[in-house]
Structure 1
Amino acid sequence: MKREQLLQQLFGDGWSPLQSEESFFVGSGRAGDDTVQVIGTAGATEVGVDLALAMAGAVLDTVRQHPGRPILFLLDTQGQRLRRRDELLALNGYMAHLAKCVEIARSRGHRILSLVYGQAVSGGYLTTGMMADACYALADAEIKVMNLPAMARITKIPLERLETLARQSPVFSPGVANYYRMGHLREVWQGDLAACLCDALRQPREDDRRPALGRERGGRQQAAAVAARVCADAA
């Protein structure tokens, strides 16, 4: 789905743009009785140092100017920018800065939601969508950390073996359905997207349920148990 279509379906005439560029946009929208601050990427853009810094600035501006306002990340990114300039400028540090800004917003009472409407790949997703209190995706979106041919090249595991593992476990598999099974996605949105957003905003704030959802859905059987043991040992 294109950005303009998504904003229309989510907010209709209640959308107020603040900044709109080819790959990055910021604004606010009405969702029922709530005003939501939107920070988004578009055009399957790469997240480099400039975009990471711009997104971090948008988060901090929201904290300063709109205390407590929910923040919705709308995401379409093909991952972190693989360029010499960005690596020399320490892209990982910029991404860490963005993640810290999101955590500051959360600690100040901002609800953080994310919706993947296009692509969500690797490091471009880790510091935005995956940092949210609750993550959602459209049914026709694409989520992955690394495709199987690339994974085979990096791990030296034969592609045929990885394909077999992918059929057995969603951990090895890209796609919205697999990320839902693993518990990463709270829900997959279809139909009335404005109603889906309002419903997400009405959900009570709670501790991270992703490991428990992964166990319930049969996608990650051990994550919740291991996390519980670590917490118990640390107490």
Structure 2
Amino acid sequence: MTLDDVLASLFPDGHDVRNDEGVVLGSAVLRSGTGMLVVGIADRTALGIDEAIRLSGYVLESVGRDTGPILVLVDSDSQRMSKRDELLGLNEFLAHLAKVLIHADMNGRATIGLLYGHSAAGALLATGLATRVLVGLPGADPAVMDLPSMAKVTKLSMEALEEKAKSTPVFAPGLSNLARMGAVHMTWSSAVSLAGQMEALLADMPAVQDKRDALGKERGGRVKAVDIAERVRDLALQTR
């Protein structure tokens, strides 16, 4: 689905969302009357310092002023790998954006990520994975790291990684693998109204918490993460 398709299906009564050179900013009202802030990255735009600070500022300005959930639409490249962005502290800008979304969620603005296109690496971490719930649409193409890049980092051959990717979601890109790891909470249908699916999710949001590690264990994609996290927490509490 294109950005226009997604917006039309989510907000059939209209919206005030604009795509400004790959940066999505605006707001809309659902049929239930719920107002929603809408931000994101479109057109497979690389997420650099300029995009990150615009998105961060837009969200921060709304915290304490507006009510209602925040929707983060995601169709990006990876983070922008330019000398300028790196020298100016791209990692800090991406971390700031992620923290702003988490801050908003902790202060009454439930955050929902909607992955409808591509995303990878730091761009995915700072947007969709920084929301309380990440939803995928069929055809979305996420990757924490593509296999050629993973081969360079791990020093493993492409053949070895391709073989591991068949049985281990951590080594494999794609929507289904991120869902198995618990990173993607659910996958919506593009054949029916997204507005109805959004309303159903929002009705459950008060009870929905970030439980990616538990979902990863339940779905067989990350079987140890939740147990290790709980063990670390228990040890920390024992030493207080």
Partner of residue 195, structure 1: 196
Structure 2: stretches of 5+ with no match in the other structure: none
Cα distance in 2 for partners of 1:40, 1:94 equals 15
Q: Does 1:116 align with 2:115?
A: yes
Offset from partner CA, 1:190-220 (integer Å, 9 cap, x none): 1321111111111134432111111111111
Partner of residue 47, structure 1: 47
Partner of residue 139, structure 2: 140
Larger CA deviation: 146-155 vs 5-14: 146-155
TM-superposed deviation, 1:64? 4.2
After TM superposition, which residue ranges in structure 1, 4 or more long, deviate above 4 angstroms? none
TM-score normalised by the chain length of structure 2: 0.93
Output aligned runs, 1:51-200, within 5 Å.
51-66=51-66, 68-190=67-189, 191=191, 192-200=193-201
Alignment RMSD (CA, Å) = 1.3
TM-superposed deviation, 1:65? 2.9
TM-superposed deviation, 1:45? 0.2
Partner of residue 234, structure 2: 232
8 Å contact kept, 1:37–1:69: yes
Structure 1: stretches of 5+ with no match in the other structure: none
Offset from partner CA, 1:144-169 (integer Å, 9 cap, x none): 02211221122210111111111111
8 Å contact kept, 1:62–1:69: no
Cα distance in 1 for partners of 2:209, 2:64 equals 25
SS of 2:124's equivalent in the other structure is: helix
Cα distance in 2 for partners of 1:179, 1:188 equals 11
Cα distance in 2 for partners of 1:103, 1:134 equals 11
Output aligned runs, 1:10-25, within 5 Å.
10-17=10-17, 19-25=18-24
Letter of the 1:167 partner, please give it: K
Letter of the 2:202 partner, please give it: L
8 Å contact kept, 1:38–1:74: yes
Cα distance in 2 for partners of 1:214, 1:25 equals 30
Cα distance in 2 for partners of 1:213, 1:145 equals 17
Larger CA deviation: 147-156 vs 87-96: 147-156
Cα distance in 1 for partners of 2:118, 2:48 equals 16
Cα distance in 1 for partners of 2:179, 2:19 equals 31
TM-score normalised by the chain length of structure 1: 0.95
Cα distance in 1 for partners of 2:132, 2:207 equals 8
